[in-house]
Amino acid sequence: MQLQHNKCRHGDAYYIAPSASFRRRACCKRYDFGKAMSADQITTYAAWWGAIIATAVFFWDVWKWRRDKAAIEMTVRPNMTVIGEPELEDKYWIKVSATNKGTRPTTIKMVGAEIYPSFIEYIMKRNTEEYVFPNAGMQDPLPRVLNPGEEWSGLVPQIRKDKQLNFLDLASEKIVVLVLQQTIAPKLVRVRLSSTK
């Protein structure tokens, strides 16, 4: 005996279509509409959400720490002359400037120079000569506390006639790097002196 109320035709073929009540039961069973979350499910979701927030806060703190770690921006300008200070006139100087770009104060401790015979030696950080300029901050002595947004400028001699040393000429033959030491990070701030300036 055939069930006429559920028999449907599709082209030349007949098939048995599920009744409306069966479709409603299958839909409700599959998606379980209207069923509230259990306490265990709520606890699980809350734990995952807390873990995501904690991870985001951790990476945010790491990002802030790394930004503060490299807070000093250093620039160098050779062939500078001074007018109005008799003891500094008739000489060439290299102007060294440092700006605190971070969010924490730091202290500039020392300005110096490193000489590398080749680029490979520079990459490997194997310098052959080192110099320290104790009077780099004659007008603004070192050590100097540098608050966020502040700038410090000093002068280092470009030429030492008694030593037959000219840093700008030396920069055309070797790699001359001006360095700055500060307290916010143990790593020196380095800027290469260009012979074309």
User: Mind listing the domains of the chain with CATH numbers?
Assistant: 4-67 (no CATH), 71-192 (2.60.40)
Bridge partners of 130?
114
pLDDT tens-digit profile of 143-188? 999 998 899 999 999 988 766 788 988 888 999 999 999 887 778 8
List the one residue out of 177, 183, 5, 195 whose CA is nearest residue 74.
177
Please state the length of the chain: 197
How far is 100 from 1, CA to CA, in rounded Å?
92
Bridge partners of 36?
none
133: number of Cβ within 10 Å: 19
pLDDT tens-digit profile of 3-53? 454 445 545 554 455 555 545 554 444 444 445 667 778 888 888 998 999
How far is 60 from 98, CA to CA, in rounded Å?
27
Token reading at 187: 């790593």
How far is 166 from 160, CA to CA, in rounded Å?
6
Alpha helix stretches (DSSP H) within the chain: 20-31, 39-69, 119-123, 167-171
pLDDT tens-digit profile of 84-140? 887 777 888 999 999 998 888 889 999 999 999 999 998 888 888 899 998 887 778
163: number of Cβ within 10 Å: 9
Contact 73, 147 (CB under 8 A): no
76: number of Cβ within 10 Å: 22
pLDDT tops 80 at residue 80: yes
- pTM for the whole thing? 0.63
H/E element, 74: strand 72-80
